[in-house]
């Protein structure tokens, strides 16, 4: 009985050992792949990304402005469908680049607010504020270009509607056609009103972001000013000690001079 138990507890054969080790390694690789990766993002890499995105946004805005001017020169949208599609694609790409730029700027702000990061440097804060200003200017320029392109499209649509109305009038259109045309005009005016309201809402959101940004700057300035009184107190103490030393030296020199003069007078 003892011999049988010992024989049954023998270790696995050598041919099974590589299979077991490879399976363990595969499980470890699977577990490591499931663990979240934590990329180390530095300030320099974020700054390079911001500059690259700014250059791309500037290029896209220039292309969008040129395409919009070509669209305004061509006039009616039905005669320039490719131009309209190109303008739409450029608007979408520019908006996506601006979103990526805003995400990078947010990452830069979070990097400076991390307690483990380098202490706040005025140059880094100034650079962050500069990137925010550039992103805000690009967003404002994009809204301006989109508004001009939209106005050109509305003008072309209006001209097309007027031509259709004149054609219908000359062809002896019925009252129902006239009523449909008037309803289309009202719907077009409603669309224009909605676009103006959307622009107003976007401007309000931008003003809100600027207000939050100014609040953050004010809080940082308050923190800096909170540290300055201690420095001012130290500087005032140093100046007071220097003045005291100067007065003591003047008194000692004057006393020595008086004693020397008295000695000369007596001799």
Q: Name the residue ranges covered by the structural domains of the chain.
A: 2-32, 43-222
Q: What is the CATH number of domain 43-222?
A: 1.20.58
Q: What is the pLDDT along the chain (267 residues), one digit of tens a residue?
A: 334 433 444 444 444 444 444 444 454 444 334 333 334 468 889 889 999 999 999 998 888 888 878 776 665 444 455 677 888 888 899 999 999 999 999 988 888 877 665 555 678 888 888 989 999 999 988 888 888 888 877 777 777 777 766 666 666 556 666 677 778 878 888 888 888 888 888 888 888 888 888 888 878 777 766 666 666 677 788 889 999 999 999 999 999 999 998 888 887
Instruction: Specify the pLDDT at position 218.
Output: 78
Task: Give the separation between CA 235 and CA 253, rounded to whole angstroms.
Answer: 27
What is each CA distance from 235 to 111, 226, 239, 242, 246, in whole angstroms?
33, 16, 6, 11, 17
From 133, 59, 148, 63, select the one nearest 102 (Cα to Cα). 133
Instruction: Specify the pLDDT at position 228.
Output: 67
Instruction: Specify the pLDDT at position 82.
Output: 62
Instruction: Specify the pLDDT at position 247.
Output: 92
First to last CA, the chain: 130
Threshold 0.75, pTM exceeds: no
What is each CA distance from 82 to 43, 70, 88, 145, 177, in whole angstroms?
42, 11, 10, 18, 30
Instruction: Specify the pLDDT at position 115.
Output: 65
Instruction: Specify the pLDDT at position 14.
Output: 44
């Amino acid at each position: 009985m003892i011999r049988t138990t010992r024989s049954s507890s023998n270790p696995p054969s050598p041919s099974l050992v590589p299979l077991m080790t490879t399976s363990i390694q595969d499980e470890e690789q699977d577990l490591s792949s499931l663990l979240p990766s934590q990329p180390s993002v530095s300030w320099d890499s974020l700054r390079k990304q911001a500059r690259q995105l700014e250059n791309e946004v500037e290029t896209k805005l220039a292309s969008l402005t040129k395409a919009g001017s070509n669209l305004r020169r061509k006039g009616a949208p039905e005669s320039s469908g490719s131009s309209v599609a190109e303008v739409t694609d450029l608007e979408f790409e520019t908006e996506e680049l601006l979103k990526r730029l805003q995400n990078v700027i947010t990452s830069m702000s979070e990097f400076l607010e991390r307690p483990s990061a380098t202490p706040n440097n005025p140059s880094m804060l100034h650079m962050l504020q500069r990137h925010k200003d550039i992103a805000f200017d690009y967003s404002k320029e994009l809204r301006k270009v989109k508004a001009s392109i939209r106005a050109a499209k509305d003008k072309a649509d209006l001209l097309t509607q007027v031509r259709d109305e004149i054609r219908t009038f000359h062809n002896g259109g019925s009252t129902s056609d006239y009523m449909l045309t008037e309803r289309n005009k009202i719907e077009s005016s409603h669309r224009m009103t909605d676009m103006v309201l959307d622009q107003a809402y976007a401007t309000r959101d931008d003003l809100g972001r600027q207000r939050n940004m100014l609040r953050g700057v004010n809080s940082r300035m308050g923190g800096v000013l909170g540290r300055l009184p201690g420095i001012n107190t130290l500087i005032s103490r140093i100046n007071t000690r220097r003045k005291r030393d100067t007065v003591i030296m003047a008194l000692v020199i004057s006393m020595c001079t008086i004693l020397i003069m008295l000695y000369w007078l007596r001799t």
